[in-house]
Structure 1
């Protein structure tokens, strides 16, 4: 990833995450690096567009734009109600995104994506080549407790839970997650992606425990930069709290980050990594979050053994 005279060139990083693993804060941190280009969950939006399109129409969304322009306009309109903002039709196409990423001439390129974005074997061919792969993991009890709250609040804020459905006690991750078929599979999908990447693309992908990053950002960021080829400096430890830098990110929806305040609000106004919160008391978890965390633990533990 770096040439012989120490100049860092053409660094390409895929940052894979499950929800609530500090991925947006890490993305913001790295965004201030001179020469950095950020693509923010564009493949994830491709996936979510496909999920919502098939629910609405019963038909599969194509993966190429040419000849399917009207179909993608319809898909963008359907997705807009879920994200609470306008979606650009040509930015929810797997083929388009792959081509644009691979043609980037930026010195550094960071692609932040949920593992769900390539959970369908039909789209694996659109995974861009030439990237170092990084996986963010975290204690599933923390993940699902936080994700359940964020998702419920988001659905209320965009008007998708009204009346009796607005009662949080009626919310159930097993049936009410509009972004994935089954959010219980986040960790199993990440584990499967991690193994596939090791076998076919990157034999030594990086695993970072998000709580390690929060507890000891100097050590984790130094290792991360060394392994990816990015230049480390202590400027990575503090950054501008204003969210303006996010306007430079490549996104599928121009106001996606602003509208999804319950997912991104804290991260986009962050200025440093704060110490992790203590482990969550399991008796405070809802039954759905508790079950999902239990089911996910062995996938997390397997990957966590490889953390940097």
Structure 2
């Protein structure tokens, strides 16, 4: 039986700064990093990984576990704007994977999401489904999984990343907190969503662009009010600063 560390999945609400976190994992250089493979699989009907073309979530999980056992540890960043029912019904997701979570205060995340996709449905904002996945993991493993907050990541990158690494069994590499700007092949298919990360060289708080918010838009106010309880339930468990 393999003694390799388990693959890591970061389940994130959209626009939570999860791509910036993925960029840190890429910069480490010691992980096989996959950007939203289950989402891409849903949209395209296939996903290319380790030289193989997979066409189902279960087949994709098969390959992730295989690569993790035989090549190098896998880190997956995935978002909660799609549903993954077959995957959540596979017991290996809980027994053979380290599942972690990333949130962000809903008003900021929702405003950012709306600016990118004003036609997003209520479900696509992702807080409710992220809570569903969280509850499934917590029920299956009998403990509270790790939750980080995108705002904490920006306000104190080193402490947040260091503690995350300690919790999932990774060596902390401070040099991974800085990188050269530029697009990455990992997210080329959806690169317009990741322009800020591509233009950056590290994590930093930026002044919000002028955009619609729950304060200025009644629709966004309703979206934020709907998702706030799910954020609150997850935020109670978030990594302490």
Q: Is the 8 A contact 1:135 1:205 kept in 2?
A: yes
Q: Which runs of 5+ in 1 are unaligned?
A: 4-8, 50-74, 77-88, 153-171, 175-180, 250-256
Where does residue 114 of structure 1 map in the other structure?
Answer: 79
Q: Please tell me whether residue 97 in structure 1 is matched to residue 29 in structure 2.
A: no
Computing the radius of gyration from Cα coordinates, the structure with the larger value is 1
Partner deviation per Cα, 1:220-267 (whole Å, 9 max, x = no partner): 111111101111132122122233xx33x4xxxxxxx33423311222
Task: Kindly indicate whether residue 26 of structure 2 is the aligned counterpart of residue 36 of structure 1.
Answer: no
Q: 1:173 aligns with which of 112, 120, 140?
A: 120
Q: Is residue 236 of structure 2 the alignment partner of residue 305 of structure 1?
A: yes
- Partner residue, 2:88: 124
How many residue pairs were aligned?
227
Partner of 1:272: 202
The residue that corresponds to 2:173 in the other structure is 233
Structure with greater contact order relative to length (CA < 8 Å, sep ≥ 6): 1
Following TM superposition, by how much is the alpha carbon of 1:20 offset from its aligned partner in structure 2, in angstroms? 0.4
> Root-mean-square deviation (CA), in Å?
2.8
Q: TM-score, normalization: structure 1?
A: 0.66
Instruction: State the Cα distance separating 1:138 from its structure 2 match.
Output: 0.6
Contact kept? 2:28, 2:173, Cα under 8 Å: no
In the alignment, the residues of structure 1 paired with residue 178 and residue 56 of structure 2 have an alpha-carbon distance, to the nearest angstrom, of 35
State how 1:1-308 maps to structure 2 within 5 Å: 10-49=5-44, 90-104=53-67, 105-120=70-85, 122-126=86-90, 128=93, 129-152=95-118, 172-174=119-121, 182-183=123-124, 186-201=126-141, 203-243=143-183, 246-247=184-185, 249=186, 257-275=187-205, 277=207, 282-284=214-216, 286-308=217-239
Distance 1:232 1:110 in 2: 14
Please identify runs of 4+ aligned residues in structure 1 that moved more than 6 A.
Answer: none
